[in-house]
Structure 1
């Protein structure tokens, strides 16, 4: 039977149609007023993968059930006679390598002697053009994604936060599900022994489109350890330091991508069908992996643009994660070093009370160089030191330790405060320490009831007399910081009788952005302590008044003598 044939007599001149469009490369179909096929040319026969005779007398839905056709638009053409262009998509019976095909068709009404006879549709496949447009749009969205990455990923020095930012950033633009998993660091947590060939990673970030959130919740969230079988996609990715793309069309592919065989059924149930895993690598060291997954109607990942963009984002995030991990390690070492140096000082001799306070600016801040010490001297005298090394981190904490050790040596000669600072300044210059420090040295003579004070760039101490309605700021002459080699320190003598509290601190207690330092120090004159009051109560008052607005570490050392 020829393609031009139809089941019933028709007003359409079949010979004329065959001569006009029978050999056309465009698909041509004629429908009657009930939108049933009455004519199909050979091009449309090939497009649909159905013989012409199988079309005739049947509707589009009966012939091509997987093609989405705007029947309402065809009915409008029948009704008003206005030609229309339509885009149709779906899948016909013809063999095709693509999941969804697209056609563009022009629709015209057929009339004979004023009577509507049907509709003619001339269609061409535009799948390749449509796919190219989709690829172009995706490329543009990926470029925008890369442009925004720097401001959205690595906004803190927290490795876990960076991993979560990466996962959130790629969903839903690149994936329906994103998982970031890291090689566990030595954080003191107990470890379970691993079977041979198993790789353990720790989930650090996870994001998903809303419709999959409930189903994926049972797979575990950040902080949980995931054990991968040797041939799973993530271990293969890390072993080769190369992306792995898995189109999960069958259980065999799913089992290769899943961490364990038990996950295969669960992945299948939520419709996961495509995955790409890219390594997180920094300074030649593997840190973990980023896994992107697609489900449902989302297109599968490709080896081209998808992988390039995913690897670029993972590479940028890996640098931020590496910085965060190095910071965390350095912060932990520096904090432990500083904690060991800032242990509660013992009373230097009988009759002396001492209390101290150290408050870091915050968990996210690098540890500073604040330090203090209390050293007994001959004749019932005692020396107090408060210092602040410039900078933060391990280097500042190590420098702080050196300053403290050298000052203890200087204090053994029982020199006045300004001499101690002069000798320490020269020793620092000769030692090669490249970090300057401020320092306040105070020697309290209980027998004479005085306090000798000298400052190397440090805020002055405050003295709280028993029963007084406020504190007084010692009028100390301030010299240059230690480590400059300039010298020029002076000792000031101020009254400090029994029961008077010597209050020493670092600038983190008083410095506030946009405020004059003298005004900030003046606030300390409102501190009071009843006669016989506890030094610990005074420190609690300091925390209540000043800790919330502090922008730097705070160290406070308070002492009081009970007479001689």
Structure 2
């Protein structure tokens, strides 16, 4: 049949069929080869004549030829296209190849089917490209999801925990994150047995496996990795390492130590993938993914996805570690500065409190200070340097030092602020800072104030009620604008002056007047001294706070020396006018 058809074809057409890169075959109704062109013979790895009279299944048993589709073409005469896959006898490094074929029925002169013709093209490369494209899209979607789930804070261990949990959700049955210790740490020193120590920062596993996996070591523990272990090799090479279905001997070399093998087998861990955490060219640790029980081993696509996730997480972790170090330095500097404010005169009872913001925020520049003047007055001051971090904390200490020195030279609050503004702007170029200064004379109940852009002070009555004192705010220090208005407050002896920074009251997306109204609506313990009042104020503040909180409270040390208590009137003198507190 095929021979007759072939001989009846014009010579140019036969030349086309023999010369085309597409594989072409003619099959009879029993799906036996009757004609094979050179291209198809090459695809199948057999000479054309070896095909004749044999079926696809006989000749190529490792091919999914979709004979059901071919028989459907013979049955109804409707042409069909189908993709088949497998391995032919042609040499190929690929474990699986793909072909796309179009099949048409051949009818005889009487209209009855005599066979079919198939035209086949190999599409392995395009299938691989399609697969890679799909994998790339999948990884991008995974990274997009991870961006909202991993690195939500600037806390190192929290970020590690988020990464491990995300990996378990998408790529592994269990995962751990280990970090290299800081170079100055004792854990970074070489171990006598040649092992290298890492700190386990996080561990996660599927819920049904968690108790078992925790036996490998809890977060916070240090793990020593023997020379030649997978983690050591990963750190040294800087690339992912896949180890599937290892023997006990292989596992003993790959594990942190040989004693782990029995535990791995008991848990059911059979495959591992270790990925380096590399940020800015430096390795900071590793991520280990595990497959347990009936789960399959890891493949190249898993390694690429895990490396993408680890690479992004490593930048976040490095930022967090850098932040943590800066935060610790700034916090120590700030606490050192705030721990030793100057001492007031004995007739004034002064208390201080400081609460840093939560771990997700940089340390601020909040500060307070007291200076005992030779004339018996005590200067009280509180301020907030703009910005955060080490520079803000350092400038905070400069403002404290300037205030201690200049308070001895300037007799009033407004003149002191003017001097500080000039020094900060014209001489030292410090960051701007708000500041509230009070010259206190508790024996007379007089408090002279001036504000450089700071929130108004409050007065606490013996009943625990709060009221704001009207002080006209001038420009912050360091702007060079000057213009600070003095105010004088006359307080009864049993009233307490409260100074605070904006972290106590300000909230995101809330008007400042509403924030201040919330403060004055509070009721503090009746009859409490400055220290007790500040403890109560902090107890009612958000914890963790959005910003640092600094507090200063001052009251006469002995409000009724040698006389009976009587009613007094609180007044505020501003520009010659007598007003009451808000």
TM-score (norm 2): 0.71
Say if 2:426 is the partner of 1:407: no
Deviation string 1:402-429 (CA, Å, 9 cap, x unpaired) is: 2223323444569443444344445545
Which is worse superposed, 511-520 or 242-251? 242-251
Match of 1:73 among 69, 76, 79: 69
**Residue pair 1:466, 1:529 contacting (<8 A) in 2 also:** no
Match of 2:154 among 154, 157, 174: 157
Match of residue 278 from structure 2:
280
Say if 2:137 is the partner of 1:131: no
Q: Secondary structure at the residue paired with 1:386? A: strand
Deviation string 1:482-523 (CA, Å, 9 cap, x unpaired) is: 334554444422112221111111123334456554554354
Match of residue 198 from structure 1:
195
Alignment of 1:65-104 (within 5 A): 66-92=62-88, 95-104=91-100
Alignment of 1:33-112 (within 5 A): 60=57, 66-92=62-88, 95-109=91-105
Q: Secondary structure at the residue paired with 2:404? A: helix
Q: Structure 2 unaligned runs (5+)?
A: 562-582
Match of residue 230 from structure 1:
227
Aligned-pair distance for 1:438? Answer: 1.9
Q: Secondary structure at the residue paired with 2:380? A: strand
Match of residue 457 from structure 2:
461
Say if 2:412 is the partner of 1:383: no
**Residue pair 1:377, 1:414 contacting (<8 A) in 2 also:** no
Alignment of 1:198-347 (within 5 A): 198-202=195-199, 225-232=222-229, 234-236=231-233, 238-239=235-236, 243=239, 272=271, 277=275, 280-282=278-280, 285-289=282-286, 296=296, 300=300, 318-343=314-339
Deviation string 1:240-280 (CA, Å, 9 cap, x unpaired) is: 6x54666869869988876556569869977759x685561
Q: Secondary structure at the residue paired with 2:542? A: helix
Match of residue 552 from structure 2:
557
Counterpart-to-counterpart distance in 2, 1:18 and 1:170: 60
Q: Secondary structure at the residue paired with 2:323? A: helix
**Residue pair 1:451, 1:493 contacting (<8 A) in 2 also:** yes
Match of residue 450 from structure 1:
446
Aligned-pair distance for 1:391? Answer: 1.6
Say if 2:502 is the partner of 1:507: yes
**Residue pair 2:269, 2:290 contacting (<8 A) in 1 also:** no
Q: Structure 1 unaligned runs (5+)?
A: 1-12
Counterpart-to-counterpart distance in 2, 1:100 and 1:176: 28
Match of residue 480 from structure 1:
475
**Residue pair 1:349, 1:380 contacting (<8 A) in 2 also:** yes
**Residue pair 1:197, 1:230 contacting (<8 A) in 2 also:** yes
Say if 2:422 is the partner of 1:421: no
Counterpart-to-counterpart distance in 2, 1:256 and 1:244: 17
Match of residue 360 from structure 1:
356
Q: Against the structure 1 CA distance between its residues 243 and 393, is the aligned structure 2 distance closer, same or farther, given a 3 Å change threshold?
A: same
Q: Against the structure 1 CA distance between its residues 452 and 96, is the aligned structure 2 distance closer, same or farther, given a 3 Å change threshold?
A: same
**Residue pair 1:372, 1:387 contacting (<8 A) in 2 also:** yes
Counterpart-to-counterpart distance in 1, 2:267 and 2:374: 81
Q: Secondary structure at the residue paired with 1:547? A: coil
Counterpart-to-counterpart distance in 1, 2:146 and 2:227: 32
Counterpart-to-counterpart distance in 2, 1:438 and 1:368: 13
Match of residue 437 from structure 1:
433
TM-score (norm 1): 0.73
**Residue pair 1:105, 1:124 contacting (<8 A) in 2 also:** yes
Match of residue 182 from structure 1:
179
Counterpart-to-counterpart distance in 1, 2:211 and 2:61: 33
Match of residue 578 from structure 2:
none
Deviation string 1:13-70 (CA, Å, 9 cap, x unpaired) is: 475589799989836474656x7x576859777756789989978883x775644343
Q: Against the structure 1 CA distance between its residues 175 and 130, is the aligned structure 2 distance closer, same or farther, given a 3 Å change threshold?
A: farther
Counterpart-to-counterpart distance in 2, 1:298 and 1:531: 67
Deviation string 1:285-326 (CA, Å, 9 cap, x unpaired) is: 433356789995876469xxx97x988876665544333221
CA RMSD across the alignment: 5.4
Match of residue 498 from structure 1:
493
Counterpart-to-counterpart distance in 2, 1:384 and 1:49: 94
Count of matched residue pairs: 541
Counterpart-to-counterpart distance in 1, 2:80 and 2:204: 43
Counterpart-to-counterpart distance in 2, 1:244 and 1:410: 61
Q: Against the structure 1 CA distance between its residues 124 and 466, is the aligned structure 2 distance closer, same or farther, given a 3 Å change threshold?
A: closer
**Residue pair 1:247, 1:253 contacting (<8 A) in 2 also:** no
Match of residue 573 from structure 2:
none
Q: Secondary structure at the residue paired with 1:558? A: strand
Deviation string 1:66-125 (CA, Å, 9 cap, x unpaired) is: 443434423433432323222111234554311112123344456676666776655454
